[in-house]
């Protein structure tokens, strides 16, 4: 099983791992995430204005967001170090893996389709990004946690299998042959039952799909990074973030530190993943 996931990941640039959040826990996790998002999203927007940051998902009408959702609910924490995810991460990065993003996203019915992009540090619209052409190396893992089932109808993420091997991506709008806003011939929806986790190479071209159902599609975005990837430009308050994002008036993927009281209560196998960003 583990090697089959790795084979899919290597070939397609992603795989889907089922039952990461057990069936008897998924409803509670989803309810808690939806609740804290509705309670704290406005504060988070205010904070973004104060730090003069423009965030990452602005422009996607109909998508609610809350960054570092783990500061508000830890209901999903027991599953963050799932052995199948960690095996993939450690196979690629070795020891000392870090979690570099724990956000939630809620795609409401009728939300806008997004543009083709790869995730930080490959999204060319971000103030800090790896300049194309990229070497063929997995530098970051993007995972999307399905807190409701993902289907084609409710906007399961659109992905282009194999695109992770490309030395560039269309996010900057400068690839003559690819329109970042248009359907792509080999695009597909990533689907899976609630509790599944999509694990992708952050270079994979993907996009937010429109939710055509009548219920919100709820998910978490969790990223896993090797110790050697410099995350400082994404961390509000660091000199690199100030220099590269605030002073340029740019936008970036951004994260907040984990509160010490939250960190202390995390499961022992999850603490090492956040140890670098407690404050």
Ligand X SMILES: O=C(O)CCC(=O)C(=O)O
- For the bound state, the minimum distance from the C-beta of residue 180 to ligand X, rounded and expressed in Å, comes to 12
- Contacting ligand X within 125-144 (CB under 6 A): 144
Residue with tokens 């990837």: 229
Please give the size of the binding site for ligand X, defined by CB under 6 A.
10
- For the bound state, the minimum distance from the C-beta of residue 65 to ligand X, rounded and expressed in Å, comes to 9
157 binds ligand X (CB under 6 A): yes
Do residues 42 and 75 lie in contact, with contact meaning Cβ atoms separated by under 8 Å? no
- For the bound state, the minimum distance from the C-beta of residue 154 to ligand X, rounded and expressed in Å, comes to 10
Q: What distance in Å separates the CA atoms of residue 174 and residue 57, rounded to the nearest whole number?
A: 20
- For the bound state, the minimum distance from the C-beta of residue 224 to ligand X, rounded and expressed in Å, comes to 14
Which CB atom, from 38 or from 269, has the smaller least distance to ligand X? 38
3-state secondary structure (DSSP) of residue 187: coil
- Of 21, 99, 219, 220, the one binding ligand X by CB under 6 A: 219
Per DSSP bridges, beta strands 188-189 and 217-225 are unpaired
Which CB atom, from 89 or from 190, has the smaller least distance to ligand X? 190
- Of 140, 164, 206, 241, the one binding ligand X by CB under 6 A: 206
Q: 44: part of which helix (H) or strand (E)?
A: helix 26-50
- Of 33, 97, 194, 208, the one binding ligand X by CB under 6 A: 208
Do residues 56 and 252 lie in contact, with contact meaning Cβ atoms separated by under 8 Å? yes
Do residues 100 and 108 lie in contact, with contact meaning Cβ atoms separated by under 8 Å? no
Which CB atom, from 79 or from 205, has the smaller least distance to ligand X? 205
- For the bound state, the minimum distance from the C-beta of residue 76 to ligand X, rounded and expressed in Å, comes to 16
3-state secondary structure (DSSP) of residue 104: strand
Binding flags for ligand X, 61-100, as an x/- string (CB under 6 A): ----------------------------------------
- Contacting ligand X within 14-53 (CB under 6 A): none
- Of 221, 231, 245, 270, the one binding ligand X by CB under 6 A: 221
- Whether the link from the prior residue into 58 is cis, omega within 30° of 0, is no
Residue with tokens 């899976």: 192
Q: What distance in Å separates the CA atoms of residue 237 and residue 257, rounded to the nearest whole number?
A: 10
160 binds ligand X (CB under 6 A): no
- For the bound state, the minimum distance from the C-beta of residue 94 to ligand X, rounded and expressed in Å, comes to 25
Residue with the shortest CB distance to ligand X: 157
Contacts of 124 (CB under 8 A, 6+ apart): 117, 132, 169, 171, 172, 174
HSE-CB of 116 using CA atoms within 13 angstroms: 26
- For the bound state, the minimum distance from the C-beta of residue 41 to ligand X, rounded and expressed in Å, comes to 15
Q: What distance in Å separates the CA atoms of residue 266 and residue 175, rounded to the nearest whole number?
A: 43
- For the bound state, the minimum distance from the C-beta of residue 3 to ligand X, rounded and expressed in Å, comes to 27
- Of 36, 105, 141, 270, the one binding ligand X by CB under 6 A: 105
Considering Cα of 101, then 187, then 37, then 193, what sign does the dihedral take? Answer: negative
User: What are the residues binding ligand X (CB under 6 A)?
Assistant: 105, 107, 114, 119, 144, 157, 206, 208, 219, 221
């Amino acid at each position: 099983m583990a090697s089959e996931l790795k084979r899919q990941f290597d070939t397609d640039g992603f795989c889907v791992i089922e039952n990461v959040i057990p069936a008897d826990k998924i409803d509670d996790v989803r309810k808690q995430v939806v609740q804290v998002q509705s309670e704290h999203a406005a504060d988070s927007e205010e904070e973004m204005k104060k730090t003069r940051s423009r965030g990452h998902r602005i422009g996607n009408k109909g998508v609610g967001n809350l960054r570092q959702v783990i500061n508000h609910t830890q209901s999903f924490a027991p599953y963050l170090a799932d052995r199948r995810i960690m095996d993939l991460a450690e196979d690629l990065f070795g020891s000392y893996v870090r979690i570099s993003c724990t956000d939630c996203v809620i795609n409401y019915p009728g939300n806008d389709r997004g543009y083709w992009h790869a995730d930080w540090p490959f999204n060319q619209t971000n103030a800090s990004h790896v300049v194309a052409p990229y070497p063929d190396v997995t530098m970051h893992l993007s995972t999307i946690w399905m807190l409701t089932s993902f289907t084609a109808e409710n906007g399961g993420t659109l992905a282009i299998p194999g695109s992770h091997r490309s030395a560039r991506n269309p996010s900057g709008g400068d690839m003559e042959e690819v329109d970042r806003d248009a359907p792509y011939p080999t695009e597909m929806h990533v689907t899976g039952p609630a509790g599944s986790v999509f694990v992708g190479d952050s270079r994979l071209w993907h996009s937010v799909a429109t939710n055509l159902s009548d219920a919100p599609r709820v998910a978490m975005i969790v990223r896993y990074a090797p110790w050697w990837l410099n995350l400082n430009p994404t961390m509000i308050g660091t000199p690199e973030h100030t220099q590269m994002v605030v002073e340029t008036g740019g936008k970036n993927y951004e994260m907040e530190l984990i509160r010490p009281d939250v960190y202390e209560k995390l499961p022992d196998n999850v603490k090492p993943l956040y140890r670098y960003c407690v404050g």
